[in-house]
Amino acid sequence: MKTIVTILVVMITTSALAQNPMTQNSDNLELEQEARALTKKYNDQLALRGKQMNLFEIKVEEFLINEQKIRNSNLSTEQKLVELQKNYDMESADMGDILTRPQLKLYKKLKPEYQPIEPVVVKEATDKQ
The alpha carbon of residue 68 and the mean position of all alpha carbons in its chain are separated, in whole angstroms, by 11
Cut 0.85: pTM above it: no
If DSSP states are collapsed to H, E and C, what string results for 78-124? HHHHHHHHHHHHHHHHHHCCCCCHHHHHHHHHHHHHHCCCCCCCCCC
- Looking at per-residue pLDDT, the higher value among 121 and 129 belongs to 121
Q: Which of 31, 88, 85 is closest to 58 using CA atoms?
A: 31
Does position 129 have pLDDT exceeding 50, yes or no?
no
Query: What is the pLDDT at residue 12?
Result: 63
Q: Which of 66, 42, 54 is closest to 18 using CA atoms?
A: 54
Q: Using one digit for the tens of pLDDT, what is the confidence trace for 31-50? A: 999 999 999 999 999 999 98
> Alpha-carbon Rg of the chain, whole angstroms?
19
Instruction: Enter the DSSP assignment of 28.
Output: -
Task: Specify the range with the lowest mean pLDDT, choosing from 27-31, 49-53, 95-99, 115-119.
Answer: 27-31
Domain boundaries, the chain: 30-114
- Looking at per-residue pLDDT, the higher value among 126 and 70 belongs to 70
State mean pLDDT over 123-129.
50
Query: What is the pLDDT at residue 22?
Result: 45
Does position 26 have pLDDT exceeding 70, yes or no?
no
Other beta carbons within 10 Å of 47: 13
Check the CA dihedral 8-11-13-15 and report its sign.
Answer: negative
Q: Using one digit for the tens of pLDDT, what is the confidence trace for 59-103? A: 999 999 999 999 999 999 999 999 999 999 999 999 999 999 999
